[in-house]
Amino acid sequence: MASTPLEEGNMESLRSSEQLKAYPVGRYQDPNNPYIMHEGHTLYRAEQSPRWNLNPNSPVAVPLGPTVAVSDPAQQLSPVTAELEQKIQQQNQLITATIEQNDRLGQEIQKLQDEQAKARESMANQEQLQQQLAQKEAELAEARMREADAEAQITPLVAPKPTLSWWEKTWRYLQTLKERK
């Protein structure tokens, strides 16, 4: 019958009622004006506004022309068309292919990370060898300098060749001329 009031029990199956809460508030100063004080009172707040219940709990009779069928949304299955089934199967195949590609790419990334680690280790070893080479070259240069210093200190101990005076040189020159004749 048109415009018939609903019973209280049936009301919640169609629309939920609003929820109100009361908060007792003591004296307080107005936050916008420091010259105003509010006396203690009760504050009422709507916590939840009324709303329609879109999930009915019980089956609803739906008129379908000359016959009446019972509609239970919880039990109703939507028919899947062949076209929709085909699309779902294509999507599943695409997902499978994507997963396989992700696995291959993950393996490739792991290989590249391993190669990168090996390259870093090789670079570290090369750098260490270069440092060792530079250290050995410095030690060799230091040893050569010590050897040169040692030779410089030893050389004065050896008697120097006596230098000939001008008259001795002249005498020897004359003797060589005499021998040639």
Which region among 22-31, 47-56, 148-157 has the lowest average model confidence (pLDDT)?
148-157
Considering the domain boundaries, does residue 13 fall inside one?
A: no
Q: State pLDDT tens for residues 28-55.
A: 999 999 999 999 999 889 888 888 877 7
Considering the domain boundaries, does residue 122 fall inside one?
A: yes
Bridge partners, 68 (sequence order): 63
Q: Is pLDDT of 157 > 60?
A: no
Chain center to CA of 149: 60
pLDDT at 160: 60
% pLDDT > 90, the chain: 38
Considering the domain boundaries, does residue 25 fall inside one?
A: no
Q: Is pLDDT of 84 > 60?
A: yes
Q: Is pLDDT of 168 > 70?
A: yes
Average pLDDT over residues 137-148: 90
Considering the domain boundaries, does residue 30 fall inside one?
A: no
163 pLDDT tier (thresholds 50, 70, 90): confident
pLDDT at 134: 93
Q: How many domains does the chain have?
A: 1
Residues spanned by the domain of 111: 86-150
The tokens for 68 are 């009446």
Q: State pLDDT tens for residues 92-141.
A: 999 999 999 999 999 999 999 999 999 999 999 999 999 999 999 999 99
Considering the domain boundaries, does residue 136 fall inside one?
A: yes
pLDDT at 137: 93
Considering the domain boundaries, does residue 63 fall inside one?
A: no
Considering the domain boundaries, does residue 80 fall inside one?
A: no
Considering the domain boundaries, does residue 166 fall inside one?
A: no
